[in-house]
Structure 1
Amino acid sequence: MSFAHLHLHTEHSLLDGLTRIPDLVKKCRASGMPAVAVTDHGNMFGMMKLFDACEKTKDAEGNWAVKPILGCEVYVAPKTRFDKKLEAKNATGEEGLEDCVDPSGSRDAGYHLVLLAKNPVGFANLSKLVSAGFTEGFYYKPRIDKDILREHSEGLIALSACLGGEVQARILQNRLDQAERVARDFRDIFGEDFYLEIQDQGFDKEKEIIPFQQELAAKLGIPLVATNDAHYLNHADADLHDTLLCIGTKTTKAKEKRMRFSTDQFFVKTPEEMRSVFPDHPEYLERTLEIAAKVDLFPITRKPVTPRFPVPEGYDLDSYFVHIAKETFEQRLADCRPLWQQGALKHAEEKYRERLAFELDMILKMGFPGYFLLVWDFIRKAREMGVPVGPGRGSAAGSIVAWSMMITDIDPMQYDLLFERFLNPERVSMPDVDIDFCRDGRQRVIDYVTEKYGQDKVSNIITINQLKTKAVIKDVARVFEKDFAFANNLTKLVPQEPGKPMTIGEALEKSDKLRELYESDPEVKNILDISARLEGLSRNTGVHAAGVIIAPDELTQFAPLSVDKDKKVMVQYTMVEAERAGLLKMDFLGLETLTQIAKTQEVIARRHGQPKDMTTIRAFDDKKTFELFAAGDTDGVFQFESGGMKQLLRQLGPDRFDDLIALNALFRPGPLGAGMGTTYVERRHGREPVTYMFPDLEPILSPTYGVILYQEQVMQIASLIAGYTLGEADMLRRAMGKKDKEKMAKEKTKFIEQGAARKYDKAKVAELFDLIEFFAGYGFNKSHSAAYAMVAYETAYLKANYPVEFMAGLLSTKSGRTDDVAKYVQNCRERGIEVLGPDINESTLDFTATGDLQIRFGFAAVKGLGDAALQAILEARKAEGRFKDLFHALKSTDLQKANRKVWESLIKAGAFDSLEPNRAALLQGLPDAVSAASRGTGDTGMTSLFDDAEMATLSEDWRVPENIEPWDRKTRLAAEREVLGLFVSGHPLEEFADAIQVHTHGTLAKIVEDATSGRLRDRNEVTLGAMVSTVAFKTNQKGEPWAILQVEDTTGKMEVLLMASKWDPLTKKSTLKPFERYRHFAVPEAMLRITGELRVETIQANGNGGTEGEEDEEQTVVKVFATLLEPLEGFQGLGFTGALVRLPPGECPPRLAPPWRPRSFGDHEGRGWPVTFA
């Protein structure tokens, strides 16, 4: 007799379930279990994975060894799902927080109930129920109720669940009549498909209720079924699961009162093990097979379906698509004619028409006209709404139809971009057009799509985040009460390979130090062994930042829904799974650079009467722009801003658009690591010969000096030399990328034979195949590279030709991020552009160019000014003209919208300096001024109760207080920083500029640039000069204090760690006590020369020029672990000695002592640490 698990939690019961689905199905097959259910808490995240894993058990005849049963353990609200007034209890139960039974009879989030889908109708109903739990009933947990269960019970099997189920809970509370009523309710809802679930994981409460369950089952004729509430795969995993619970509840193993499972029996038991639990009741086990037999084997995947696009009368979908494509194509040709006249285009008009006819034919045959019309429509609407749209991204830029319909904006003919890289006629799959919108307008486009197709048909997509290597090591170390230094030093020994996450197993293979430590230290071995078993498990969920689903019908017919913390609705399938479920996925990306360009154009229009027409620069031949690129002067230039890219730019000296396309493709870890960047530069400058294996390859490879850089080149070579169609060549490229050895052996034979048949030397053809196979691993999508090179060129053009307007637009775009603003303000000053603080009469919302070399702060950059206050002030200024003084501004503005705090911020920011430079006096007189202005406007700030003469009298009653001492420089700068986030009229470090230049490695920006470009490396010693801006005191697990210092200079900020001890993981000796020795410097405003160990980390971060929704890209984070802190004032006037000064810890040269006068900063936070420079 066998058995099937019907109550089972996987890793998708987040940080509560440990089982990975592929391992689960393997065990079921090995144990002879013919079916398995997955019933995660409140969600269906794992359904597609379960289906896929079970499908792999099919034999040659199509029989499945393990049938998937798609289910969920739902939460049923005590009353209705709309009742959200219960107070959450934090009691500790046998099985954990969410499973505890509240003795009062009510439940925190709801009672448990297991639901299993019998057929497609049941699966659709389960999806609707689970979705409603999130979208309607969410209260601590996703909850449904019995009313909605009655509506959507068809096709579902229900089990009464664990002790958290309502029947069992009532029995435990000795409310047997209520237990009977509840059981009757469920029997009425589900009929013969309701079962009483009986469990015995080895603790008393389960055993207590079994007789009552048996009695109730007999009385009501409800069958009993045995389950095991499995949360981990094997018995040996119990302790590992306990560690996972500690991670989820942020506690430690040693803590007595915490969530824990009271026995070690919550695992996926074999049929034999289940028989030993219920030896006297084999019928309970057999019933699991009866239930499994009720469940049909049905698919949950389908081909993607495009939403129905409405077409005008007289057209069908195909004819309207062709009509729009041809109409917009003629508009494109009209724009191209001036370029043809200039001789700037490679191909004649006829070639464009031939390409259009070919693509239209292919798209019609593939059945994608509706898709193109849908995308064309919302991009057209975006432009109508004034939302800037990017020129394209990804392979779609290779389509002339997409270009004609203005879905993309880069000419695919001019740059040899291939349609087959986008849509392969020989491997038909759904198009994938990703679109960049201005960050500020992206949501408006999504709102349009939602309104057009229906709120029930449009949603976001879930992302399931994992326990990643370094994070899980830190988590496990914390669970076992290891201190920060222990965990941090372990993670530092995990090697970093850009573009490839490193597992613990791989790290042990590649890091000699980590392996040595692992083999010599049992504690380290234990932490890493446990971490290795947990890494990759699901941790939490989020919203895919770009993906938007547009369904042809109600979403729940395709997939269950969830919500995030901001109530955004999302399908519970990941991006790839959603497409497999038949849903159309679009990427609506918010590209900050488009916002930056738009804001720059606004500044240009204000200064010059109209914005720059960017279509006039499409020849891409502006000399000043390429000079800017060649100089590496690319701060603020899209994708060309990093230190490493600047270095490559200076080496290459690009002077044509093809170089920019190539640089976008080259500046990636793979090509750089393979030396392709160096080869490209050397050949570009004639220092290395450009050779071609066959002369026929020159037209394909000459733009990249013989380097195979693009995927499109691989396809073109296969087509030219071996006679592949471009569709076949695309499949070859894909196969090369996947490194399928068996497939590649067949392809190589085909390539050689066909090449030889075309009269090419057979040995050379074989050599060429090996060459393109090697480069295919590094090849980049040229369509994407070309489109993004266009964005880069536009930003560089604006910077080169409208430098002040460009910097104003850039600062406006970054105004919410003070670190970036500080960086670009300094960049302006280095370029001779003066950045002025905000002014009550000159500033607008954004930064503005007020002269050829002058930028004025915008009000939006001032902290404490909300949208309503800003609008009120700007409206008052528009109505009144220039304000004469503070009182005039107050009496003219609605003070209910712009309260006293707003005016305080403006005064501190220096916004009234042009009217009254004494900020101290204005601030002291502000309360009286507000009071007088409020009297004059009847406290409304809208309509004055007095005529002009009376107002003049009131104005005379208020004067700027006299004899008020102006703020000193330090106070003035501190006030600016408080409300602007940075110093504007000066910087406290300016007096130490010479000392920093001579006695440090340079500015913080320079150190970061050197670290990202590789000139400085991880663990190099570095010396910097900076001011401490904030201090966060910490305590490690041993109770030792340490601190994180946020330091800054005029170019940026950096984190400096002052550790309790500097720990050597090999000797395990604390050779230095940085915090103990230098804690008296850990105070805000201390001006320090800091020496320490540079730490350069690569983290996953959303990036790509501020692209919302871009795939996570790697970002370099630079920190310093301090070993020596010294006051900067001791280095003033000390000349250059030919090397950086090296001081023994805690000591200073005697000749520096006299200028160091003791200066007390006072006790910090009452810790009793006197702070002096001495």
Structure 2
Amino acid sequence: GGDARASMCIMDTFETTEAGQKFIEEHPSMKLVSQVEGHARHAGVHAAGIIVCNEVLTKYAGVNSRDDVIMLDGKEAEAMNLLKIDCLGLRTLAVLEECAKLAGFDPKDYYKLPFDDAKTYKLMNDMRLSGIFQFEGFAMRSITRQMGVEHFEDIVAIGALGRPGPIHSGGAYLFVDRRTGKSPVEYLADDPIVIKHTESTYGVIIYQEQVMSIGREYGGLEWSDVQQLRKAMGKSLGKEFFGQYMEKFVAGAVARGRSQSEAENVWKNMVSFGSWGFNRSHAVAYGMISYWTAWAKANYPLEFATAVLNNARSSNSALKLLRDMNENEGIEYEAFDIDESGEKWTVHEGKLLGGITNIDGFGPKKAKDVIARRITGKFTPALIRKLMNPVTPFDILWPTRHFWGHFFTDPTSYDLDKAPHLIRDVQEDGEYYIIGRIVTMNLRDLNEYRNVVMRGGTLLESNSQSLNFTLEDDTDALICTINRFAFDEIGAPIVENAKMGEDWYLAAVNVRRGIRKGNIRAIIKLDKGVHCAKEDLQDNKKAGVDGQVQSDEAGES
């Protein structure tokens, strides 16, 4: 967790940095800006927040009549003892409902499912996780691969561990090592209360409720105290906030017969673990949805795939699922059939059939028009031409192999000493050739104001820019960084000329084990004129480009 004071304030800048001191000497009246700090910068609207009250809301705050939005934030509403409920929607629930309807059972039957379906756990342990709620991101997949899934509690634990706090603190890997027997189970103290509340998690605190229970039963804290601790964990306020309860906790533990040194040690470790603890009730609820999606995929793969494709955020995410279902589930598909395709994806004769809306330029209204014209037979020549030669995002399922398969099958013809690797197969130390498209890009400048302040006001005279980008092939994605010393040579041309999602690149990558980060020593753009790839890569061998496998918390939370 972080610190309660997350960043420097304005006066810190004026008093402790060289640039700030110089600025305030030249413009002393600018000290007045400190009075602005802390005020709202803009009026936003919560994505799903609802205030519940038994009185007229205008008794508590103003209401923006244009948007019907109360002019309070969450903290202010809480201070007034108003109830704020976040009514979040999950796209996955629509997937589950559609899958149930296609498979012919009542969506309410999900609640009746036992958590012991062998096919479901086999699917998860086989890492067939595409389309599974929460489990598609790299972090969740990595933890699942390392520890496996034997029962529902494993799903709950992975959901709590696959987040930035546990991963960056090392808590996730400590849990995995103990869960798999690589490390012995150790407890915060040889105390029955501590053991009772951490035994199921191998001595590691991963849930906020564990901190609350130990705080109450071991340290004698009041319910109001542990409730504040829970809120602090949810907002990652860090040790500064937790520290105000230490004296009370230790005193309560000593009053209950524990030694002061043991109580202090329990507190220290509890705060360390608990600072990133996740809400167990949230983890269980989301774990149920994860299990339901895995169960649906394992038992009704065609219907599940249809539902996910129809609710995909983009054609790119739909294409990824289609690859997975084709490769790992053996499901066949047809992108479009002029006689049989409906508006969206459907199940037809034992395979997936793409909808009319998959065709470029065809929306729901136009698709309905095509379906209606089938009955009357009144097609215009222009419409017939489009339907006879449809272009969809699903025409080529494996574009990397389709366009650049010759690099993989005959690398020596391109003067490469070995074939390129698919990103998902990059697991061990060594140098790899990777082919992929740039799908995201983020230009960074170390001379931006925030970075200058953090350095104490010092500006870099040169080489201040760097570039982060995501290189993606048919199997996975690689986050790469062109460092500031190589940016002018190979980064700037990418920023200026790269067509996102269209241009293909060949990169030479040195990968380090464990964290799967690496150094891309060279990168070139591929086109039909590429003949001597190795020669081009050697020309770029001084290019310092860092890369790591993408950690995406795709999943909804």
TM-score (norm 2): 0.69
| Inter-partner Cα distance in structure 1 for 2:71 and 2:488 | 49
CA RMSD in angstroms, aligned pairs only: 5.1
Q: Which residue of 1 aligns with 2:301?
A: 803
Alignment of 1:358-437 (within 5 A): none
The Cα offsets for residues 867-921 of structure 1, whole Å up to 9 and x where unpaired, read as: 33333444565xx4xxxxxxx5326xxxxxxx88766553432xxxxxxxxxxxx
In 1, Cα distance between equivalents of 2:440 and 2:203 = 53
Aligned positions of 1:60-459 closer than 5 A: none
Which residue of structure 1 aligns with residue 316 of structure 2? Answer: 819
Match of 1:641 in 2: 136
Task: Tell me the residue number matched to 1:426.
Answer: none
Residue identity opposite 1:808 in structure 2: T
Cα drift, residue 587 of structure 1: 1.8
Whose radius of gyration is greater, 1 or 2? 1
Higher RCO (CA 8 Å, separation ≥ 6 residues): 2
Distance change (3 Å), C-alpha of 1:688 and 1:544: same
Q: 1:745/1:557 Cα in 2 relative to 1: closer, same or farther (>3 Å)?
A: closer
What is the SS of the residue equivalent to 2:539? coil
Q: Could you say which residue in structure 1 is the equivalent of 2:344?
A: 846
Whether 1:770 aligns to 2:268 is yes
SS of the residue corresponding to residue 620 of structure 1 reads coil
The structure 2 residue matched to 1:662, chosen from 137, 157, 164, is: 157
Q: Does 1:743 align with 2:244?
A: yes
1:1145 aligns with 2:555: no
Alpha-carbon contact 1:1078-1:1125 (below 8 Å) kept: no
Q: How does 1:544-583 map to 2 (within 5 A)?
A: 544-550=46-52, 552=54, 555-562=57-64, 568-580=67-79
Q: Give me the whole-angstrom Cα distance separating, in 2, the residues matched to 1:666 and 1:612.
A: 29
Q: Once the 2 structures are TM-superposed, how far is the Cα of residue 1085 of structure 1 from its aligned partner? A: 7.0
Shift of 1:752: 2.5
Task: Mark the CA change 1:834 to 1:710 in structure 2 (over 3 Å): closer, same or farther.
Answer: same
Does structure 2 retain, via aligned residues, the 8 Å contact 1:844–1:858?
yes
**Residue 812 of structure 1: CA displacement?**
0.9
Measure, in 1, the Cα distance between the counterparts of 2:440 and 2:242.
56
SS of 2:69's equivalent?
A: strand
Question: Is the 1:838–1:859 Cα contact (8 Å) retained in structure 2?
Answer: yes
CA distance in 2, matches of 1:744, 1:773: 10
The residue number in structure 1 matching 2:112 is 616
Structure 1 residues 1053-1132: aligned runs within 5 Å: 1064=485, 1070=488, 1075=493, 1088-1090=505-507, 1123-1127=523-527, 1130=530
Residues 979-1036 of structure 1 deviation map (CA, whole Å, 9 limit, x = unaligned): x3453477485152251586676446x49xx8xxx999xxx998532469999xxxxx
- What are structure 1's unaligned runs of at least 5 residues? 1-496, 510-514, 881-887, 892-898, 910-975, 1032-1042, 1095-1117, 1135-1139, 1148-1174
Query: What is the aligned counterpart of 2:45 among 522, 526, 543?
Result: 543
CA contact (8 A) 1:752 1:766 kept: no
State the 1:734 CA deviation: 5.6
> Given the alignment, which residue of 429, 434, 439 partners 1:1024?
434
Q: Deviations over 1:301-358 (max 9, x none)?
A: xxxxxxxxxxxxxxxxxxxxxxxxxxxxxxxxxxxxxxxxxxxxxxxxxxxxxxxxxx
Partner of 1:688 in structure 2?
Answer: 183
How many residue pairs end up in the alignment?
A: 481
- Show the counterpart of 1:411: none
SS of equivalent residue, structure 2 residue 278? coil
Partner SS for 1:1025: strand
State the identity %.
Answer: 25
Q: CA deviation at 1:1143?
A: 2.6
2:402 paired with 1:990 = yes
Partner Cα separation in structure 2 for residue 1000 and residue 537 of structure 1: 57
Q: 378, 381, 387: which one pairs with 1:890?
A: 378
Deviations 1:235-282 (A, max 9, x none): xxxxxxxxxxxxxxxxxxxxxxxxxxxxxxxxxxxxxxxxxxxxxxxx
Task: Give 1:675 deviation, angstroms.
Answer: 2.3
Query: CA shift at 1:793, angstroms?
Result: 0.9
Deviations 1:789-847 (A, max 9, x none): 11111111112222222222111111x51221222222223222222112233223332
Q: d(CA) in 2 for partners of 1:890 and 1:1052?
A: 45
Q: Which amino acid aligns with 1:798?
A: A
Instruction: Flag the 1:770–1:574 CA change in 2: closer, same or farther, 3 A.
Output: closer
What one-letter code is carried by the residue in structure 2 that aligns with 1:889? G
> Against the structure 1 CA distance between its residues 603 and 992, is the aligned structure 2 distance closer, same or farther, given a 3 Å change threshold?
same
Secondary structure at 1:864 match in 2 = coil
Give secondary structure in 2 for the equivalent of 1:544.
coil
- CA pair 1092-902 structure 1, distance change in 2 beyond 3 A: farther
For 1:766 and 1:1044, the matched residues in 2 are separated by 43
Give the Cα separation in 2 of the matches to 1:1084 and 1:733: 43
User: Which amino acid is the alignment partner of residue 199 of structure 2?
Assistant: S
Distance in structure 2 (CA, Å) of the matches to 1:769 and 1:576: 27
Work out whether 1:587 is the aligned partner of 2:4: no
Pick closer, same or farther for the CA change 1:1076–1:673 going to 2, 3 Å.
closer
Indicate how the Cα distance of structure 1 residues 633 and 537 shifts in structure 2: closer, same or farther if over 3 A, else same. farther
Distance in 2 of aligned mates of 1:1023 and 1:540: 47
Residues in 2 aligned to 1:681 and 1:1029: alpha-carbon distance in whole angstroms: 32
Partner of 1:753: 254
CA 1:849–1:754 in structure 2 vs 1: closer, same or farther (change >3 Å)?
Answer: farther
**Are the equivalent residues in 2 in contact too, given 1:562–1:570 (CA < 8 A)?**
yes
CA 1:711/1:908 → structure 2, altered by over 3 Å: closer, same or farther?
Answer: same
In the TM superposition, 1:481-520 aligns within 5 A as 503=7
Given that 1:551 and 1:584 are in contact with CA atoms closer than 8 Å, whether structure 2 keeps it comes out as yes
Q: Which residue of 1 aligns with 2:387?
A: 906
Cα distance in 1 for residues equivalent to 2:49 and 2:229: 29
Match of 1:871 among 368, 372, 382: 368
Q: SS of the counterpart of 1:1089?
A: strand
Q: Partners in 2 of 1:1052 and 1:748 — Cα distance?
A: 47
Instruction: Name the SS of the counterpart of 1:589 in structure 2.
Output: coil
Could you say if the C-alpha distance between residues 1070 and 1093 of structure 1 is closer, same or farther in structure 2, counting changes exceeding 3 Å?
Answer: farther
Q: Secondary structure at the match of 1:543?
A: coil
Whether the 8 Å contact between 1:1027 and 1:1088 is mirrored in structure 2 is yes
Match of 1:834 in 2: 332
Alignment of 1:703-742 (within 5 A): 703-722=200-219, 729-731=226-228, 739-740=240-241
Pair 1:724–1:1023, CA change in 2 (3 A): same
Q: 1:644 offset after TM fit, Å? A: 2.0
Partner of 1:380: none
The offset of 1:653, in angstroms, is 0.9
C-alpha separation in 2, matches of 1:541 and 1:1015: 49
**Residue of structure 2 in register with 1:785 after alignment:** 283
Alpha-carbon distance in 1 for matches of 2:215, 2:469: 57
Listed as ranges, the gaps of 5+ residues in structure 2 are: 412-417, 442-466, 512-517, 542-557
Show the counterpart of 1:1114.
Answer: none
